Every structure is written in structure tokens, then in C-alpha cells.
A and B are shown apart, each in its own frame.
Chain A
Amino acid sequence: MPPTLRSGRGSPAGPAPAPRATRLRVRHLALALALLLAVTVFSVLLGAADLGWQRVLGELVAQVTGGTSPLSEREAAILWQLRVPRVVLACLVGAALAVSGAAFQGVFRNPLADPYLLGAAAGAGLAATIVVAAAPGTLDWVIGPLQVAAFCGALSGVVLSWVLGRTAGHGTGTLILAGVAVSAFLTAGQTFVQQLNTDSLRQIYSWVLGGLTTTGWREVLLVLPYVVAASSVLCLCARLLDVLGVGDEEATALGVRPGRVRLAVLLAASLATAAAVSAAGLIGFVGIVVPHLVRLLVAGSYRVVVPLSLVGGAIFLAAADMIARTAMSPAELPIGVVTAFAGAPFFVLVLRTRGRA
């Protein structure tokens, strides 16, 4: 007798309870946002200029309640024109890098994809460096040569890695190896351009290891519209990223056009990467660590991974920046060093679990 399958109709238990689809739950989002608030407040309280955390807290409370602040005007300026925008920028850059990491992983169906490892960040870096060297007067424009160049650079970097990876084979590692080669080449190009323009060297140098030095709210305003636009597109495409997970052929059989989805997601993710890189340079591993933590802790559906990576990336980079600013205070650690310390071992972990699966 072969094993038989019960007919759903004859089942004595009656109709099955409606199954629950994986969705972004309010409690997960609330928890993430609460964590973000805690990290940002904590990060604002600490800093190189010793304002005293109790007094900063007093200022924050005074701002909310309208009371009198314990800070002098100069101290308040340090807080509101230097420290707060920097924390906000860290959140934006982290969100952009994490969400584009998640998007690249979905598009390439590759758990190791990341803007840093795929050549997107390096492409944006090289292109931005060229603009900084060639047209330093245009850097304040919200839509200027810097943004356009960084976007094109990011997109070219990914496409180049993708094409090279495909010609070499189909494994998970091939794309990443191609990405590493492309990144190395483009970063070398960036260093070369820097050397040709030693007078602006210091300005560009911070990009290589990543830096969040701000001059007030300018950078925040330059990055914000791009991050908002790109994240909106990626959140809208989250379901389609799940569909892409079944492979192009089956996605086509489901009535989805994989080429179009891939293009839309690649454009949005490259835009987010470009915005992050033109503000803060090359910061690695955010795009690997955050989406994988979300998968590990919450769920694997992109409907959850995309939005929570956005918040999680903000938390991660705000925390990393806090460490970068305070660990060797008053000297500052490049933030890319902090994310690499946390991210590289995590990368190996992902690699190992991948190998076992």
C-alpha cells in the first residue's frame, strides 16, 4: 500500500485555520525603532567635546519641554550643528547601506552580496573622487555632478562585477570574487586620482576608510532625498524580491518579469549606495551584517528583511560611529575600521553556515 494523502475535504477537523503570511509585525518595527531612539540619544550624549552627558540630557529635555538649557550658546551650537547632524547622517548612511545590501542579496540571490563587496561602493567612490578633484565648486548642489557621477559609478561597479562573475561561472563565490577584483581595481583608480590631486588629498582621504565628519546639516540634506527615494522603491519591491527567490524561469512562469524587477531594484540600490558613499566614503560590511541579523532574528522574507534592514542599518552605524568617536577619544577611529572589526568575522560566519546548508 502506498502512503495515502488525506483529502482536505474529508478532514474531520473542519476547515484549516487561515495560515499566517510573514509580514512586518508592528511589535518588531516598534522594538527596532525604540532601539534606534535609544542608540541615537546615547550617541548624542557622548562626544569628543566634553559637554557632560547630564547637561546634554538637560538640553534635550529643555528642547522638548521648552525649559531652560544648562548649555551655553557655544555648547548648544556644538551639539546641534556638529554632533546631532553627525548622528543623523550615520543613521541615514547605515540605513542606505543595509537596505542596498539586502536588495543586492535578493537580486543576485546571493547571501554574500553587499555594496562594498560588489564594487558598487568602490565605483561610487572613484566617480565621486574624480568630481571632487575636477569640479570642487559643485559639491553643494543637491543634484550635481557629484551625485550623478556617484550613482553612475555605483551602477557600473555592480554591473561590471555581475558581468565578470557570469562569464566565470555561476557559483555564489564567483560573483563576490569578481566584485572584490572590481573593487580593488576601482579603489586603486581612486587612490591614483587622489595622488594626482594632493592638494585636495585630505578631503578625499577620509572616504577610503569611511568617515562621517560633517559640517553641520549640509551632508544630511544632500543624502536624505536619495535615501528616502531609494528605500521607498525597495520597500515596494520587497514582495517581488521574494518572487525572484524561486529563480528567473519560475518567476516568469508566475507572471513576473524578472528583468524589470532586477533593473528597478539595481537602480534603487545603486542610488542608495551612491548617496551613502558620497557622504561617508567606503564603509564595509553594513550590508552583510544587518540583513543577515534580521533574517536570523525575525524572518527570511524580504517583506521583513527590507524594512527592518533600513532601521537596523541606522542602529548599527549609529552605534559604530559612537564607538569610533569615543573608543580612542579625543582621537577618532575611522568608522570603516569599526564596521570591519564587527563585520568581517560575521562574514566568515555567514560563509560557514552557507557551506553547511
Chain B
Amino acid sequence: MNALRASAVTAGYRGRPVLRAVDAEVPTGGWLGVIGPNGAGKSTLIRTLAGLLPHQGTVTVDGAPIEGLRPRQRARVLGYAPQTPELPTGLTVTDYVLLGRSPYLAPLGREGRSDLRVVAEVLARLDLAGLATRPLATLSGGERQRAVLARVLAQRPRVLLLDEPTTGLDVGHAQALLELVDRLRREDGVTVVTTLHDLTLAAQYADRLVFLVDGAVTASGPPDAVLTEARVSEHYQASVAVLSSEGNRIVAPVRRPGSHATPG
């Protein structure tokens, strides 16, 4: 059963199409990585899957078209975190994560004990309990990313849509965050869709990749099949080597003197 499926999706901003007839699907409990050069439409795809952009074609979640869901229903199924989330700096970590309970509240309602219990659980799981009363403004980059993830998890979504969740994190923190997401996937059966610009991380964490170029799918499938040296070199206009280490696929930039025209 596919948790999320996009068929022939065309979407964009103010009449300027960014995605052209994109097909993508991810089974329940799977991890779909969206890759592609800058401006390929990765974020637009995530937003469209989150139901935040008008589109042509269909996006279905557990078989139901996403347009048919009311906003709060949709928010109970799909959790979305943008690439650069806006953090209301006056709030504490607890207040911020509590916003994730909005889909379960009437518009003018307020949270109850069960909502606070969910928040406590999420904070403990993401190792944020010690920061619960800290204002968001005082958190480090890695802590912020975890707080954002905590807010999304407080929605108890079945699908996580994360746009570049490792932005601004060093390699250690990036790995820790992706391991965390992977654990959620294995333990809770959550479905994950992420954009990742680091192709090595994308190859190691996602079980399927969609390679976007100019808003269209140029390749999709298991990372080993999608990430070939020729394809990456061509579409990223980069000089790379695809290596293998301990069964992991590694996409590394390689400097080959003379292979690129050098400016002036």
C-alpha cells in the first residue's frame, strides 16, 4: 500500500509551473529521498505533497485525494517542516512543540493533559526534555532542528515531509538527526519523504530516490540505480566519483584539472 502517491503532478507559483508531470510514490514505512540540482523543484514537490500548493494531477494519501481532506484532517496525517522554519522566538520549546497539537484542537480550543503528555513523550524521545522551558531564541542550530522535528512529531503524523532537515548542521548532527528519523520510521512505521542535497546521505538513508531535473523526474528507484556517476555529473554539471565503502554508496566531488572551464 502506498502511503503517498503523486501522479502526473504539475504545480508552481503564480502560473509559473515548476513541476511538470511528476510521478512519485512511497510505500507505508518507506523513505523517499528527493534529489536534484538547485532549482529543480525539490521543495515545490514537498510542498505539493503536503497539500500546501494548488496542483494539477493527483496526490493521494492512503489512497484518498489530498484535496478532499479538511485542513485539520490533513494535518493529522501529514507533518511538514520547511527548509528554514520560522521560529517564534518568544516561545519556549514546550510552547512551540505544543503548537503541533493544533490539528487535534477546535480553532478556539485549548490543549488538555493528553496533549501535554504527547509533548512530554516527544521531548523525551528527541532528547529535548532538558530544554523544555528554554526560549527558542537560545537554542543552537542542531537543537532548533530537533525542536522543529518535535513540533512535527507532536502532530502524530503518519507521513513526515521534511525539506532539507539537515540544513546548517555539521556532518555529525546531520547523521544524528537522520538516524532519529530512521528510528521513528522503523519503530512507528512512519513514512518519510525528505529532500536532501547531500547525495551521500540521501543514498544511505532513503530506500528510494526521485531525481528531479527542471521540474521533471529524470530517474527514480533504489539509490544504487539512480546515483550513477554519469547521471550525477551530467545533471549537476559536476565532477564526481561514486564510491563504495562498507556497503555504503558515497558520492564525492572530484577535482579534475582541465575538465572545467576556469573563469578568466
Contacts and interface: CB of A to CB of B under 8 A. Distances in A.
Interface of A: 2-9, 11, 15-22, 109, 236-237, 239-240, 242-243, 245-247, 249-250, 252-257, 261, 295, 299-301, 357
A252 B91 CA distance: 19
Question: In this complex, which of B79, B108, B111 has the most chain A Cβ atoms within 10 angstroms of its Cβ?
Answer: B108
Chain A interface, >50% SS class: loop
Nearest to B113: A18
Contacts of A255: 70-76, 102-103
Contacts of B74: 255
A245 B82 contact: no
A21 B98 contact: yes
B116 interface: yes
A19 B137 CA distance: 18
Contacts of B87: 246
Nearest to B109: A239
Contact of B95 (A6, A242, A261): A242
Contact of A253 (B50, B89, B125, B172): B50
B176 A246 contact: no
| Closest CB pairs A-B (n = 6) | A300-B90, A245-B88, A255-B75, A255-B72, A8-B124, A8-B125
A5 B172 contact: no
B99 A243 contact: yes
Contacts of A299: 90, 92
Interface stretch (B3-11, B126-134, B252-260): B126-134
Question: In this complex, which of B78, B124, B126 has the most chain A Cβ atoms within 10 angstroms of its Cβ?
Answer: B124
A255 B69 CA distance: 10
B14 to A, nearest CB: 15
B117 to A, nearest CB: 7
Contacts of A7: 125, 183
A7 B180 CA distance: 9
Nearest to B81: A250
B123 A245 contact: no
A4 B107 CA distance: 38
B89 A357 contact: yes
A3 B135 CA distance: 24
Contacts of A301: 90-92, 95
A256 B102 contact: yes
A242 B91 contact: yes
Given A237-B108, A249-B52, 8 more contacts: A15-B124, A21-B95, A245-B88, A253-B50, A254-B155, A261-B107, A300-B90, A301-B91
B226 interface: no
Interface in B60-106: 70-76, 78-82, 85-92, 94-95, 98-100, 102-103, 105
Nearest to B47: A249
A106 to B, nearest CB: 9
Nearest to A260: B107
Given A254-B75, A254-B100, A19 B94 contact: yes
A299 to B, nearest CB: 7
A19 B116 contact: yes
A19 B132 contact: yes
B120 A357 contact: no
B119 A19 contact: yes
A20 B110 contact: no
B33 to A, nearest CB: 19
A246 B76 CA distance: 18
7 contacts: A19-B132, A21-B111, A245-B91, A246-B86, A249-B52, A250-B81, A301-B95
B256 to A, nearest CB: 30
Contacts of A109: 86, 88
B173 interface: yes
A249 B85 CA distance: 10
Contacts of B229: none
B175 interface: yes
Nearest to B152: A253
B248 to A, nearest CB: 13
A246 B127 contact: no
A5 B91 contact: no
Contact of B172 (A2, A8, A20, A300): A2
A261 B89 CA distance: 20
A266 to B, nearest CB: 16
A31 B123 CA distance: 32
A11 B82 CA distance: 30
B86 A256 contact: no
Question: In this complex, which of A21, A22, A256, A257 has the most chain B Cβ atoms within 10 angstroms of its Cβ?
Answer: A21
Contacts of A247: 82, 85-86
Nearest to B94: A19
B88 A19 contact: no
